[in-house]
Amino acid sequence: MELGKDLVAASATPLVLAILAERESYGYAILKRVAALSGGHLQWTDGMLYPVLHRLERQGCVAAKWGVSDSGRRRKYYRITAAGRAQLAAQKEQWRVVDDALRGIWVKRRTT
């Protein structure tokens, strides 16, 4: 199953924020986590994660700093900020509304 482009784009922000809410992370690990969470169904083009991260950084939802990876390479780490947590809560609420509405109609139809 392949997800539509718009849906993938729309879900990117809450997913990234939620993953960073768990702990500080970096691009590649975030992608791996997304793949694991969705059972491999949510496949992003790898590079596209970075503009999303940069947008969140500009909006102040995440903060970035350069560190060093285990193998000694320079690596950019991201962590969620207070504004990011507020944004995540708002997103959660919005997705719950969408989820409720869809469930309401789909579950009813299945039971009738």
Partner 1 sequence: MTPAAGSASLEQQIAHWRQYLGNRPAMQAPDVAELEDHLRDQVKLLAAAGLDEDEAFFIAVRRMGNLDALSREFAREHPERLWKQLTAPAGDGDAAAPAARAELGIVIALAILAALAIKIPALFGLQMNGPGGAFYARNAGLFVLPLLAAYLAWKRRAGVAAWTWLGTAFAAAAFCANLHSFGPHSDLQPLTALHLPIALWFAVGVAYVGGGWFAAAGRRMDFVRFSGELFIYYVLIALGGGLLTALTLMMFRAIGVDAEWFAQGWLVPCGAMSAVIVGSWLVEAKQSVIENMAPVLTRLFTPLLVLVLLAFLATMAWTGHPVDVQREVLIAFDVLLALVAGLVLYAASARDPLAAPGFFDGMQLLLVACALLVDALALAAIARRISAFGFSANRVAALAENLILLVNLAGVAWYYTAFLRRRGAFAMLEQWQVAYLPVYPAWAAFVVVAFPLIFGL
What is the Cα–Cα distance from 22 to 37, expressed in whole angstroms? 13
| 47, 72, 110, 111: residue in contact with partner 1 (rule CB under 8 A) | 47
| 3, 11, 18, 76: residue in contact with partner 1 (rule CB under 8 A) | 76
What is the Cα–Cα distance from 9 to 48, expressed in whole angstroms? 10
| 75, 81, 83, 91: residue in contact with partner 1 (rule CB under 8 A) | 75
Q: Find the shortest distance in angstroms from Cβ 71 to partner 1.
A: 8
The yes or no reply on residue 54 touching partner 1 (CB under 8 A) is yes
Beta strands in the chain (DSSP E): 25-26, 62-68, 74-80
The yes or no reply on residue 59 touching partner 1 (CB under 8 A) is no
Assess contact for 87 and 73: CB atoms under 8 A: no
The yes or no reply on residue 26 touching partner 1 (CB under 8 A) is yes
Q: What is the sign, positive or negative, of the torsion defined by CA atoms of 23, 71, 36, 65?
A: positive
The yes or no reply on residue 45 touching partner 1 (CB under 8 A) is yes
Distances (CA, A) of 30 to 7, 41, 47, 78, 108: 18, 15, 12, 10, 36
| 36, 48, 98, 107: residue in contact with partner 1 (rule CB under 8 A) | 48
Q: Which residues would be at the binding site for partner 1 (CB under 8 A)?
A: 26-28, 31, 45-48, 50-51, 54-55, 58, 66, 69, 73-76
